[in-house]
Structure 1
Amino acid sequence: MASDTREPSSDVLLSKALTSVSSLVLLQLLSRLFTFVLNQALIRIVSPQVFGTAAIQFELLLSTILFLSREGVRNALLRASDKTQETKRAAVADRNLITNISVLPGLLGIPFAVSVALVYIYTTSTATRSQPHFGFSVTIYALAALFELLSEPAFIRAQNELRFDLRVRAEGIAVALKSVVTFMILWMGSVNWALPAFALGQAAYGVTLLATFMAAYRGNVTVWPKKVTTVVHGNVMSQYFEPELLQLSAVMTSQSLIKHFLTEGDKFMVSRFSPLADQGGYAIASNYGSLVARIVFQPIEETCRVFFARLLAPSSVTSDSLRTASHILLSILLLFIHLLLFLETFGPPYFAVAVTLVLPPRFLATSAPAILRVYIHYIPMMAFNGVLEAFFSSASSPVDLHAQSRWMVAFSVVFVFAAVGLARSVAMGDAGLIWANIINLACRAGYAALFAAQYFKSKAVEDFRWARIVPPKSVLGVFAISAAVTRWSEQRYQNNLSALGAQLGHVAVGGCCLMACLAACIVFERAALAQACSFVRRRPA
């Protein structure tokens, strides 16, 4: 797939991974900035009902088509470098067999997109279907998904060549055009064109993505599987796909069905059981609540998948690469522990001040504020689960994947019972779905953490110890005191938080506590921070 199939050293791979993280974080920051500005404009133009249809139901339709069509193939082909080590010496033919697999998402996505779109149209509520241009908008969303799937061979090629700059350029331009097209149609057209505006914006995103990738490779990308002739023990064989990776792709694709339900289960339930206005509130809360996750954690998760898959390839794994993987995983988890501490300390007491700044008055009457409050606890759980599952998908064998699939079924049952029970609670409502997601992610993260511990134990890596991700007691004590002080401050000012003076006083208390927590981390964890910084600054000779 790549022109140079030599496996990079762990230092080279780490350097490229760090570069990719910074590039993808910048991409997510810019794209979410566009999205945030666009959403701020849209929620003041369209009704909560329209926003709920587009941001919950249409996005769920799009993610279902994309996730189930390509996720398994993407994750499987990240391991292609392991195979190309031996095929480089044998023939280019085997690499072509692997490349053929990258075409499957686009080919299989066509009937799948049609099927999912038809099921959605005929099973959605009458109130949703009666909106202007509904059928036309669904059709455009399905086409937008197909445009993205057609760019998949080029995307996978760029990933395996570690050309993250190409991805940043392609997705950055696509997000910008999506935002411009959506807003311009809404601004120039009538209210009846709200749904098509979202759909055509998504179509612009897909077309731009495909055009940018194709231009970068000058059209030199496989779009249809080619029969490959190989000679095995003197016997001439003709085939299309590399058998082991095709089987792994099938296993991961079947597993992605369960993962998709667990990831998007809350949207499934909201889209079926909540009024359209509350769906709009849920959508805006989800968009704002997950900003940090999308800007920071998603790039880290995606880079970890590439990094661990290449570093721990069975044909090239060494004691050095194992120690590097152990150190990187524990370092990331340590950072996420600190994120958890900061969010739990400062999130709840300052939520009332923050929510009035981002939500317009008509969304304050929806479920959005209650959902945003739960995101304080949801964000760190997304972070932990993302990096741990990235490690699992990179280091697991087919046997491990089958075992995880069985546990995923059990986690699905837990999620459904938790979601139904909590969502029916009068005190929680739609926010109960987020709590159900937290329980679901905790189960999945716990399973992946157990796998990581067993994996490094089986490889005799003594450096992997969970105690290394726990901050010192002195740091935990400062956070505990700060949590008590900020909550006392909230109680003191809560009856007068609408006044500017009260807000400033409450924020000043939080600022002092925040500085104390940062100082504690620097003073008491100086050695750990210095080690992490020196490790990050390592560069290949």
Structure 2
Amino acid sequence: MPPPDSTGRSTRALRGASLLILLQVASRAITFVANQVLLRFLTAQLLGVSAQLEVYYLSVIFFARESLRVAIQRQDSSTITPPKDGKDGGAGTSNRAAQAVVNLGYLAIALGIPLATVFGWLYLKSLSTSTLASAPNLVVSLYIYALAAVVELVSEPAFVMMQNRLQFGTRAAAESIATFLRCLVTLGSAVWGANRDLGVLPFALGQLSYGFGLLAVYAWTGAALARREGFSLLPRRIITAPPPKPSKQETPVTSTPPPSPPFVLSYFYRPTLQLASSMMTQSVVKHVLTQGDTFLVSILSTPAAQGVYALANNYGGLLARLVFQPIEESSRSYFSRLLAPTAATSESTPDTTKQPPTGSSPSASPAQEALTALQSLLRFYHLLSLFILALGPTAATPLLALVAGSQWADTGAATCLTAYMWYIPLIAINGVLEAFVASVASEAEVHRQSAWMGVFSAVFAAAGFWFLHVQGWEAHGLVAANQINVVCRIVWCWVFIRRYFAQRGLEFDLLGVTRSAGVSLAAAVTFELVRKAAPESAARVWPASARDAVVELVKVAAAAVPFLVFVAMSERQLLTSAIQALRGRRQARS
């Protein structure tokens, strides 16, 4: 049986992405149903405050673990060798790499506790008296969110080990169970306190239950894996061989300083720690860009406008969370492993025993395989984007009226969600491009990207100020500012990736991604047909009743059927290849 190869990595990554998508669809469906019930108990102002608390929570989580996760995925375990005497201070010599990964996971906990404290203090200082008066239990809810963030970070050592082992099933199960608990607790407490004016407390209790759900699953499965493979989920010292002593004949003047030990404090693998430190600046900029919309709207808009944007973001970003996010994370792990330095060195001496992926030549290098995979993924995103743009803008208003209720008719939510439909394809393309860049960028390139991200942040802030403050567009103006920002990021990533493959004698061609001219024309025709068939929603007029909303959605669905048939016929080769890849090569595995 041949050793594991790039085909196996590709299959595991694709299987992991498909499993994450399937289980997250189920968990998000439960979340979606629960949110519809919650909307009946919430005002736009309370939803805006809950969005602020969620940003606080995500900020703590992101800054504590994001750069560590990316660096750990790029860690070259083959360089972690045992000392010559075999004594390792408690970490099994065959699993030193696993123990190094676990130890790094504890840095997320060490960072998370002070971050939760500092960010919580800053958030309390920023609250106005009117906001505190309009949102009961806000301070208590903030404390609970802080505790929830720390609880989730406690599961990080087990999570990074599962991610390193490509245990996507464990992650999918953990997130599904945690999401179910969050929905159950949030909805139950909201219904129980319907007449008690609990404010945003149900959201806080639900987030805390989510953290405990993740911790329970990861602790259970991580402990079982640790027993099987002989490492510990607790931090352990990793002793390395001392550097060789200089010979007596060596002159002190010409002697070089001894190399730094590979582990900091005998716990943390130095190369991974250095990479994580260099990526921290990029993580800060990326988070500001990701959550900058909420920051900006909180400064320039009222809590009610924040609630409108949160509603549109929740519904408009549902597809991004269900499909795009799992694919982005799986592709980042796949490209990091495929294009790791050890894999890259094999490009000049290809292993003829490896079986190439479908559609590649027998001697395909890792770079060629990565190029094929990236272009196929972008082509799939292109088709999905055309489908969203053809139907989404027209379907947004009746769909929102059906699921959110008539109390949101005069809030501007329909206009904001319609604008968000044009933003979703940009999110998808940018996500996968940045995942590739994060997988291959050197430390200097990471710093260069961070500098450009700072420039794009300034562009975003200027556009947001113009649309919100000068033009008075409210929440949908914020969507427009985000679109400008993401386009800038896509252009930068595209230039970087073209240069990366050009240095390896390959061409990253735009026409190879957007060569479906017939499908693009069909999408434009479908958009016009749907817009004329549903004039009320096209004019962003709230349907008078639920029946009217259903009628308009039926018209949209009827126009979607021939478009889907045309896409299936035109792109059957791409779709067939994707299905075969998701099924995997069962014969190869056996």
Q: Quote how far apart the aligned CAs of 1:510 are.
A: 4.1
Deviates more, 1:183-192 or 1:105-114: 183-192
Q: Which residue identity does 2:68 align to in structure 1?
A: V
The 8 Å contact of residues 136 and 200 in structure 2, kept in 1 or not, is answered as: yes
Query: For the residues of structure 1 that align with 2:546 and 2:303, how far apart are their CA atoms?
Result: 35
Q: 1:461 to 1:419 in 2, by over 3 A?
A: same
Alignment partner, residue 50 of structure 1: 46
- Alignment of 1:122 with 2:122, yes or no, is no
Query: For the residues of structure 1 that align with 2:461 and 2:232, how far apart are their CA atoms?
Result: 41
Q: Which residue identity does 1:258 align to in structure 2?
A: V
Alignment partner, residue 438 of structure 1: 483
Question: Given the alignment, which residue of 489, 496, 499 partners 2:533?
Answer: 489
* Misfit runs of 4+, over 6 Å: 492-497, 499-505
- Alignment of 1:514 with 2:560, yes or no, is yes
Question: Given the alignment, which residue of 288, 309, 313 partners 2:336?
Answer: 309
Query: For the residues of structure 2 that align with 1:288 and 1:470, how far apart are their CA atoms?
Result: 27
Deviates more, 1:149-158 or 1:520-529: 520-529
Alignment partner, residue 3 of structure 1: none
Alignment partner, residue 231 of structure 1: 241
Alignment partner, residue 154 of structure 2: 150
- TM-score of the two chains, using structure 1 as the length reference: 0.91
Could you say what secondary structure the match of 1:228 adopts? coil
Could you say what secondary structure the match of 1:12 adopts? helix
Q: Quote how far apart the aligned CAs of 1:180 are.
A: 1.1
- TM-score of the two chains, using structure 2 as the length reference: 0.84
Query: For the residues of structure 2 that align with 1:505 and 1:217, how far apart are their CA atoms?
Result: 50
Query: For the residues of structure 2 that align with 1:451 and 1:352, how far apart are their CA atoms?
Result: 38
Alignment partner, residue 202 of structure 2: 197
Could you say what secondary structure the match of 2:241 adopts? strand
The 8 Å contact of residues 422 and 433 in structure 1, kept in 2 or not, is answered as: yes
Q: Quote how far apart the aligned CAs of 1:507 are.
A: 5.5
Q: Quote how far apart the aligned CAs of 1:173 are.
A: 1.1
Matches within 5 A, 1:252-401: 252-317=279-344, 318=347, 319-401=364-446
Gaps of 5+ in 2: 84-92, 246-257, 348-363
Alignment partner, residue 72 of structure 1: 67
Q: Quote how far apart the aligned CAs of 1:481 are.
A: 2.5
Gaps of 5+ in 1: 1-5
Q: 1:95 to 1:509 in 2, by over 3 A?
A: closer
* Cα offsets for 1:211-258 (capped at 9, x unmatched): 221111238586664433211433696633221110111111221111
The structure with the larger Rg is: 2
Query: For the residues of structure 2 that align with 1:172 and 1:262, how far apart are their CA atoms?
Result: 28
- Alignment of 1:215 with 2:215, yes or no, is no
Query: For the residues of structure 2 that align with 1:217 and 1:311, how far apart are their CA atoms?
Result: 25
The 8 Å contact of residues 402 and 549 in structure 2, kept in 1 or not, is answered as: no
Q: Quote how far apart the aligned CAs of 1:39 are.
A: 1.2
Query: For the residues of structure 2 that align with 1:128 and 1:492, how far apart are their CA atoms?
Result: 36
Q: Quote how far apart the aligned CAs of 1:46 are.
A: 2.7
Identity of aligned residues (%): 35
Deviates more, 1:246-255 or 1:452-461: 452-461
Question: Given the alignment, which residue of 101, 104, 107 partners 1:101?
Answer: 104
Q: 1:410 to 1:498 in 2, by over 3 A?
A: same
Q: 1:324 to 1:207 in 2, by over 3 A?
A: same
CA RMSD of aligned residues (A): 2.7
Q: 1:494 to 1:301 in 2, by over 3 A?
A: closer
Query: For the residues of structure 2 that align with 1:419 and 1:78, how far apart are their CA atoms?
Result: 35
Aligned residue pairs: how many?
A: 532
Query: For the residues of structure 2 that align with 1:247 and 1:22, how far apart are their CA atoms?
Result: 33
The 8 Å contact of residues 304 and 391 in structure 1, kept in 2 or not, is answered as: yes
Alignment partner, residue 249 of structure 2: none
Q: Which residue identity does 2:121 align to in structure 1?
A: L
Greater fraction helix: 1
Could you say what secondary structure the match of 1:230 adopts? coil
Q: Which residue identity does 1:145 align to in structure 2?
A: A
* Cα offsets for 1:491-530 (capped at 9, x unmatched): 4997996589987876666445433322332333344444
* Cα offsets for 1:29-51 (capped at 9, x unmatched): 12211221111111112332222
Could you say what secondary structure the match of 2:239 adopts? strand
Query: For the residues of structure 1 that align with 2:409 and 2:213, how far apart are their CA atoms?
Result: 36
Query: For the residues of structure 2 that align with 1:518 and 1:291, how far apart are their CA atoms?
Result: 21
Q: Which residue identity does 2:42 align to in structure 1?
A: V
Q: 1:504 to 1:192 in 2, by over 3 A?
A: closer
The 8 Å contact of residues 137 and 199 in structure 1, kept in 2 or not, is answered as: yes
Deviates more, 1:346-355 or 1:383-392: 346-355
* Cα offsets for 1:155-174 (capped at 9, x unmatched): 10000011111111111111
Q: Which residue identity does 1:126 align to in structure 2?
A: T
Query: For the residues of structure 2 that align with 1:433 and 1:306, how far apart are their CA atoms?
Result: 32
- Alignment of 1:476 with 2:503, yes or no, is no
